[in-house]
Structure 1
Amino acid sequence: MTEGAWRAELGDFLRARRGQITRAEVGLPPLGRGRRGVGLRREEVAVLSGVSVTWYTWLEQGREIHPSRQVLDAIARALRLSGTEHDYVLALAGYAAPRREAGAGPQEAPGHVRRLLDALAGYPSYAIAPDWGISAWNAAYARLYPNVASVPAVDRNLLWLVFTDPYVRALLPDWQVASRRFLAEFRAEAGPRLGEPGFTALIERLRAASPAFREGWENHDIEGFTSRERVFLHPVAGELRLEHHRLAPSDHPGLHLVVYTPMPGTDAAERLRLLGGEVS
C-alpha cells in the first residue's frame, strides 16, 4: 500500500468509526432534539484524544502528517476501538500491534477450539496459553498422557510437567534434549512477559522444583518453534514416531494448538490405534 493510500484508508476508517460510536459511550449527551445519540464531532474526538482539532482534521483528510503511536493509541481509546480495530489503525501507520497481556493462569479455550481438538479424533492434540498452561485437550491426548485430567490445575502447565512429572520423563526417550528444546522455545516466546506475576511465579516454582530446569534456565538458550519429529515411548502403544505441529487460531492468537500426527513412513498410525480412537 502506498503512503497516500494508507493515509486515505486511515482517514476513512476513523471518520466511519467516529460516525458510528454511541455518544453515551463517551459520556456525551445527544446532539439535540430529534437528532440521534450516535456519532462524534471532530472537535470532540480531538478533545478526548488530547490533540488539536486541526491536526485531527488533517488526519481524517489523509494529509501528509506522521501520527505517533501514542497519538493513535489515544484516538483508539477515544473511539472505543476493539483490539482488532486498534491493531488495524496501527498497521496502516506502520506500527506493530500491541502485545496483549497474558493472564496468570491457563486461558480458557473457547468452545470452537475444543470442538476442533475433538474433531482431530485419533491425533493427540491440546491447547496451551501464553504461559504454556494446558487449557484443553482431546481424548487421544488423554490416552497418550493420562495424567492430564487428574493433575491439579496449577500444575497443568507443559513446562512444569516436562520438568517434574516422572511419567512425562519416561514418555520421552530423548528427555535431556527435548526438555532443553522446550525450555529454549518457551524463553523465546515468554521473554517480553517474564516480568509479569504469572510468569515469574512459574519460573520460581520450577527453579525450586527442578535442578535440570534451574541449570537450563541459567544458559539463556533461545530457539524458535519448528514442526519436527517427536518420539514417545508409551507403555501400551510402544514407540510412537509423531510429527509435532503447532497452530494459532486467528481469533485467539494467544492460544496455540499442538497436534501430533503419524510420521510418514512409520507404523505410528497403527500404534495410535492401540490407544483407541480412529486415525485416518
Structure 2
Amino acid sequence: MTASSQAGDLGVFLKARRAQLTPRDVGLPEDDGRRKVAGLRREEVARLAAISVDYYTRLEQGRVRASAGVLATLADALRLDEDQQTYLYEIAGKTDARPRRRRAAQRVRPAVRRLLDRLEGTPAVVLGKRMDVLAWNDAAAALYTDFARVPAGERNYVRLMFTDPGIRGMHLEWRHDARDAVAALRMEAAKDPDDPELARLVGELSVQDADFRTWWAEHRVNSAGHGTKRYRHPVVGDLTLDCDTWNSPDGSGQRLMVLTAEPGTPSDDALRILLSWTPQDRPATAPGA
C-alpha cells in the first residue's frame, strides 16, 4: 500500500467513524437540532483528540500522515473498539505501541483511608491520577456533594469544578479556583502524557467549556499545596477555609486534600453547624443534588 493510498484510506475511515457518533456518545452536550452534518463535527473530534482543527482536516483529506501518538488520541476520541483500533493503525501504516494491558485501578492505601475516616469534623478528599476523587469522608460530602451519587467515571475534581452546577456555583472565586485546578491538571499531564483517560478528560472539557479551553492552552502549571478557598454554601452560607494538600509517601501520586476553618471564626461555627446536619436534613438544593 502506497503512502498516498494509506492517507486516503485513513481519511475515509475517520470521516465514516465521525459520522457514526453523536455528541451524547462521547459525553458532549446535545445541540438544539441545528446540526448540519451527521455525527460529530470536525471541530469536536479535534478538540476531543487535543489536536488542531486544521491538522485534523488535513488528516481527513489525506494531505498529512498521522503519528502513532495522534492515532492513539484519535482512537480514544472516536471510541474505537479493539478491532477498529487494529484497522486504524494498519491503514495508517503504524505500529500500535500502546501497552495492551489494562491500567491498574487506583486504590487508596488502607492507612490513608483510616486517616480519612478519623478526620470526622474536617472535610477531606483523596485525589488520584488526573485529580480523580478516589475517597472522601462524610464531612467532604456535606461540604461538596454526595460523591457516591456521581458515576465513578465522572468522579473527577476538575470535571466537577466545571460541569457540576452546585459545586461550581458555591465557589465565590470560581475563576481563580478553576484556573488553579487546570494548572494542577497540567502538572498531572506531565507525569503521564500518554494517559488516554487524561486525553479524554481534556478533550471533553475543552469542547464543553471555553474557559477550560483557554486556560489549558496557557500551559500554566501549579503544584501549590496550600491556599484559601471561599464558598457560599446553600445550607450555612459563607465559608472561608484553608485548603492543604499532602502527597502520599508511597509514590502513587495520590494526595490528601483537607479543608479547615480557623477556630473561633464564623466559618468555624458554620462548618460545625453544617456537619451536624444529617443527609436527610440537607435541602434538595445542596451542591450536586
TM-score band, normalised by shorter chain: 0.5 to 0.7
Indicate if the aligned counterparts of 1:144 and 1:234 stay in contact, CA closer than 8 A: yes
Which residue number corresponds to residue 118 of structure 1? 117
1:139-189 deviation digits (Å, cap 9, x = unpaired):
000001124221111110001101111111111011111111111122123
CA distance in 1, matches of 2:197, 2:249: 24
Q: Deviations over 1:206-258 (max 9, x none)?
A: 11222221121112112221311111111112111110000122135421000
Partner of 1:109: 108
Check 1:248–1:267 CA distance in 2 against 1; reply closer, same or farther (3 A cut).
same
Structure 1, 135-144 or 177-186: larger mean CA deviation? 177-186
Whether 1:189 aligns to 2:166 is no
Give yes or no for contact 2:231–2:240 (8 Å, CA) kept in 1. yes
Partner of 2:131, secondary structure, is: coil
Shift of the alpha carbon at 1:111?
A: 2.5
Q: Is 1:203 equivalent to 2:202 in the alignment? A: yes
**Structure 2: unaligned runs, 5 residues or longer:** 1-101, 278-289
Counterpart residue identity of residue 267, structure 1: P
Q: Does 1:233 align with 2:215?
A: no
Rg larger in structure: 1
Query: Separation in 1 of the partners of 2:251 and 2:108?
Result: 9
Counterpart of 1:71 in structure 2 is none
Deviating runs (4+, > 4 A) in structure 1? 103-106
Relative contact order: is structure 1 or structure 2 higher (C-alpha 8 Å, sep ≥ 6)? Answer: 2
What pairs up with 1:79-158 in 2 under 5 angstroms?
A: 107-158=106-157
Aligned-partner Cα distance in 2 for 1:197–1:248: 23
Distance in 2, matches of 1:185 and 1:266, equals 29
Contact 1:237/1:271 (CA < 8 Å) preserved in 2?
Answer: yes
2:121–2:272 contact (8 Å) kept in structure 1: yes
Alpha-carbon distance change, 105 to 233 in structure 1, aligned in 2, over 3 angstroms: farther
- Quick one: structure 1 residues 225 and 105, their matched pair in 2 at CA, closer, same or farther if it must change by over 3 Å? farther
Over the aligned positions, Cα root-mean-square deviation in angstroms equals: 2.1
Distance in 1 (CA, whole Å) between partners of 2:203 and 2:194 is 12
Q: Is the 8 A contact 2:230 2:239 kept in 1?
A: yes
Three-state SS of the structure 2 residue aligned to 1:123 is: coil
After TM superposition, the score normalised by the length of structure 2 is 0.57
Which stretch shifts more, 111-120 or 192-201? Answer: 192-201
Aligned ranges 1:1-280 → 2 under 5 Å: 107-251=106-250, 253-263=252-262, 266-277=265-276
Percent identity between matched residues is 34
Normalization by structure 1: what TM-score?
0.58
Change (3 A) 1:252 1:188: closer
In the TM superposition, what whole-angstrom CA distance separates every residue of 1:31-73 from its partner, at most 9, and x where no partner exists?
xxxxxxxxxxxxxxxxxxxxxxxxxxxxxxxxxxxxxxxxxxx
Structure 1: 5+ residue runs without aligned partners? 1-102
